[in-house]
Structure 1
Amino acid sequence: MSTHLSPSRTHSRRVNPHTLSSGKLHHCCGSSSGYHICVCGCCRHDLRTAPKTVTNHDRVRLNGDVPPPRPAAPRRQAVADTLHVPQWSSGIQSWAVARMVVEAQGRDNVVLLFADTRAEDADNYRFNTDASALLGVPLTVVRDGRTPQEVNRDERWLGNSRLAPCSHELKQKVCRKWLQDNTDPASTILYVGVDWTEPERRPAIERMWAPWPVEFPLMSPPYRPKDHWLRESRAIGLEPPSMYRRGYAHANCGGACVRGGQAQWAHLLRDNPSLYASWERHEAEMSDLLGREVSVLRDRRGGASARLPLAVLRRRAESGDSELFDPYDWGGCGCMVDTIGGAA
């Protein structure tokens, strides 16, 4: 069957055409202008054989069909005194970027800038130490001093995927202050670990970090999925953060990321029920503090949108009925790349 069919609707970044009729919202990395009722325009999956949810790396697996990302900007010619600053998140892609920068530029003019939220998984800090030693570059650690829950109380706002004050206060502000105090934008290059699956995020990232120029090494060929970098780190004797092995898509905030989706929070309930319980209590405390119900998550079943408290998600997840929550909604990590009002 031909895949070049007249689209019946236009593509939307937050709508997965495979599950459009169910009203579920997902990230879809397709670049097609639309889809046919039987054939998905973004990956050519035949919907008559089986329903399927698109993931960030499906395009690698589907016959090598990788739509080209937004062309990379011409690489800047670095001079001897240029300072190179990879933004270190303690995740595997920030390590991949840092290694590429060190290999290309040497160690002397590289700063690994890490904003500590005081909420990372314990094994992330082990990874930081091991990775820094292997790279031969010490981490430059900046911190606000508060945790995400403390920021929520101070700001009187419960963070969620649309608006996350913890990202702004604990990562963006402290990194920008360090850059202002210690660098000259004319002789400094920032590096961000967003890869080729999310080229649409590049313009917003560049605007947010201006006047510092930003480069995106993982957006340039060869296009590698995250699993590649996990294998690469193990091959050199560097064990990645255990959160990946434990089934998380992103190794940030111990799994309790307010930008995460229903699937990530349900996974946290199974993997670390005590941390989940602390956030369930915090969510209830924030509702009491603000005098109205607030929630980290939203329930979008049937096309409607309603608050989904963590207590309700817990009961649904414990029932074992995956139809009661969205098992594909993992959300995304955007602390260092989205503006305070940006979507994850």
Structure 2
Amino acid sequence: MEDERQSVHIAVLAGGVTSAYVAFDTVKRFGKENSRLIFIDTFNKGADDPAFQANTRFMKEVADYIGLPLIFIKNDEVDSLHIEYSNEEESNSTLGYSVEVKLKQLLAYLEEVRKNENLEPILYFGSAPEEMYRNKKICLESIEKELVSVSDLQSFFEIAPSKSIKVHFPLVEQMNINLDVKKIVQDEWGIELPRSERKRIYIAMFSGGAGSAYVAYYMVQAFGKENCKLFFTNTLWEDEDNLRFMDEVSEYIGLEITEILDGRTPEEVFYDYKFLGNSRLAKCSEELKVRQTLIYLEELRDNEKLEPVLYFGIAPHEKHRRDDSHVRRKLSLVREDSPDANIRKAAGIRSFYEHFPLEPIESRFPLIETLRADLDAKGIIQYEWGIKLPRMYTAAVEKAEKEGNTLAKKLVEKGINGFSHANCGGRCVRGGFQHYATLYAIWPDQYKEQEEMEERFRKHFEKNVSILKKNGAAYTLKQFREDMDHEGVEKYLFTSDDTIPCVCSFS
């Protein structure tokens, strides 16, 4: 008889600290002989996902501590298991595909337990009351919180194919909101938390541009100032008005800037490596931006036991603000094969931070992934916040209005109000012909500084190298200036560069 079956108490581990604690509590209450530990992963990428690997390691260490084997379940035929799932109380609540697949695999396993072992399974999940998240006893983005709601799980297992399955949520039922689960796991059990369970620190990669400024504001509103940082790596070539803008944004948001300095200028990096940065390779960006960022992030992990989540201000191109933007939005995913160049850049950044740190670091792009496509960050900053944009965005407009500069007027007529990005005061070595033609037309003094820097390097190392290339050969800024003077700057002003800006544009 089904009612006479002996119960088997199964702790369902999702990969986080609350399910680990519930597993320990279940075994303590019912004994090892009457308990089992099952790990269901809900990571979309499966076994190759670094997050899956980290949480699997954690779950294995928890199982070893408890003294029971960790059961992994897999059933490739679960799609044939049909469940008319719905939650009438929460009409907008749904199970994600990966979660539903894992729960169906769990159901298939439970039916085998009933059929072959004549045992009645009772499930225990690590879902926790919201108060535990609010009082910071658990990470705001814990795996269990992302799994599925309590009511969803209850509804799902009430509709199990042959007979409903009893489901318990000990932390919710006991409502011991002051229980410090992370402290117990780390200090009493001696088990290091996986990165998904570490306290998150949300970091706006603050470049001095409008996109990163708005994303910083959005991030602080979402997670609170106490959980956020404004991060700026200074190359010492920054335009002074960028620094003014950043200070004003920092004051408006109410969050101080964390500024990191290597101490060298890009030129000094070129001399150290005996290599002049150019539109193909920029050691200045690698050393002054990327390397300093990685060092800082690893120090956060090692010294403060925090898990960084990076926020970038990359946005889709202006064409996404047309009337059909709601349709295009569906295609604006962070994919390497996206038709949008900015989205491809975001995909490259995400890939970089997944592979180069000691452990992968999550990166997010709200202007592409979350916020509405027609968001006017520049307009909001200027007219709602009352903060003037960095002059690099409007350099052509100012030159045209204040000095009546003919070339500047033509740039503005073509919709080019300034530089495409605001890093390194216009002296970015990853810039192409249009970038340097614009620099020469608007800020000839800065162009001259860069030209002299290039000539100094060539003379010092006796190398025929240059920032730009033409017909596969070196093409110096001096040669380019002479050609512009002879042929006219306009020839180069209105043809977009096909070069990719360096990571300074994003960090």
Structure 2 stretches lacking a partner, 5+ long: 1-138, 143-197, 317-339, 355-359, 396-417
Matches within 5 A, 1:237-252: 237-246=386-395, 247-252=418-423
The structure whose residues are more often strand, as a share, is: 2
Q: What is the root-mean-square deviation of aligned Cα atoms in Å?
A: 2.5
SS of the counterpart of 2:208? coil
Residue 30 of structure 1 aligns with which residue? none
- How far did residue 324 of structure 1 move? 5.4
Match of 2:475 among 263, 285, 308: 308
> Given that residues 206 and 232 in structure 2 are in contact (C-alpha distance below 8 angstroms), is that contact kept between their aligned partners in structure 1?
yes
Match of 1:231 among 369, 379, 396: 379
Residue 157 of structure 1 aligns with which residue? 275
How far apart, in 1, do the equivalents of 2:140 and 2:372 lie?
Answer: 21
- How far did residue 326 of structure 1 move? 6.1
Aligned length: 258
How far apart, in 2, do the equivalents of 1:215 and 1:275 lie?
Answer: 34
- Structure 1 runs of 4+ aligned residues shifted over 4 Å read none
Counterpart residue identity of residue 256, structure 1: R
Residue 424 of structure 2 aligns with which residue? 253
> Given that residues 159 and 166 in structure 1 are in contact (C-alpha distance below 8 angstroms), is that contact kept between their aligned partners in structure 2?
yes
SS of the counterpart of 1:239? coil
Asked whether 1:218 is paired with 2:367, we answer: yes
Match of 2:350 among 206, 212, 234: 206
Residue 7 of structure 1 aligns with which residue? none
Counterpart residue identity of residue 495, structure 2: Y
Match of 2:259 among 123, 138, 141: 141
TM-score (norm 2): 0.48
- How far did residue 187 of structure 1 move? 3.0
> Given that residues 262 and 297 in structure 1 are in contact (C-alpha distance below 8 angstroms), is that contact kept between their aligned partners in structure 2?
yes
How far apart, in 2, do the equivalents of 1:118 and 1:202 lie?
Answer: 25
- How far did residue 322 of structure 1 move? 4.7
How far apart, in 1, do the equivalents of 2:218 and 2:286 lie?
Answer: 27
Who wins on radius of gyration, i.e. which is larger? Answer: 2
Matches within 5 A, 1:1-344: 78=141, 81-183=199-301, 187-196=307-316, 197=340, 198-210=342-354, 211-220=360-369, 221-224=371-374, 228-235=376-383, 236-246=385-395, 247-299=418-470, 304-319=471-486, 321-322=488-489, 325=492, 327-330=494-497, 331-336=499-504
User: Relative contact order: is structure 1 or structure 2 higher (C-alpha 8 Å, sep ≥ 6)?
Assistant: 1
Percent identity reads 31
- How far did residue 253 of structure 1 move? 0.5
- How far did residue 170 of structure 1 move? 0.7
SS of the counterpart of 1:137? coil
Q: CA, structure 1 residues 336+271, in 2 after alignment: closer, same or farther (shift >3 Å)?
A: closer
- How far did residue 320 of structure 1 move? 5.2
- How far did residue 186 of structure 1 move? 7.0
> Given that residues 205 and 337 in structure 1 are in contact (C-alpha distance below 8 angstroms), is that contact kept between their aligned partners in structure 2?
no
Kindly provide the CA deviation profile for residues 214-261 of structure 1, in whole angstroms up to 9, marking residues without a partner as x. 111111252247xx2211110120111111011111111111101111
Residue 172 of structure 2 aligns with which residue? none
TM-score (norm 1): 0.69
Q: CA, structure 1 residues 165+224, in 2 after alignment: closer, same or farther (shift >3 Å)?
A: farther
Q: CA, structure 1 residues 224+173, in 2 after alignment: closer, same or farther (shift >3 Å)?
A: farther
Structure 1 stretches lacking a partner, 5+ long: 1-75, 339-344
